[in-house]
């Protein structure tokens, strides 16, 4: 999906590296053309072991309404399961 923070003035991207894990957090990012549906907040963590985890705080719309033609890459979203 096109999680470009420039689509919203409220969007931020932050990162943290503690030597064991590198975490990038996208906060309040919106999809172009679907801005009114709400904002996503999530993290991608790259662990020193090679493990990658995606954590979603907010998913404002059903994943099946994110069209593949508009947003062809859904790594983490289409492979996700809810906890």
Mean pLDDT over 25-30 rounds to: 91
Of all residues in the chain, what percent carry a pLDDT higher than 70? 73
Residue 20 predicted with pLDDT over 60: yes
Residue 83 has, within 13 A of its CA and on its CB side, a CA count of: 6
pTM confidence score: 0.72
For residues 36 and 77, what is the distance between their CA atoms, to the nearest angstrom?
A: 19
Mean pLDDT over 8-14 rounds to: 90
pLDDT in tens, 39-75: 889 999 999 999 999 888 877 877 777 666 665 555 5
2 vs 29, more confident: 29
């Amino acid at each position: 999906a096109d999680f470009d923070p420039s689509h919203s003035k409220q969007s931020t991207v932050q990162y943290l590296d503690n030597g064991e894990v590198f975490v990038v957090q996208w906060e309040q990012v919106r999809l172009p053309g679907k801005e009114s549906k709400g904002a996503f907040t999530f993290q991608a963590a790259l662990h020193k072991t090679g493990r990658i985890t995606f954590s979603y705080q907010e998913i404002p719309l059903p994943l099946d309404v994110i069209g593949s033609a508009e947003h062809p890459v859904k790594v983490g979203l289409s492979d996700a399961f809810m906890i």
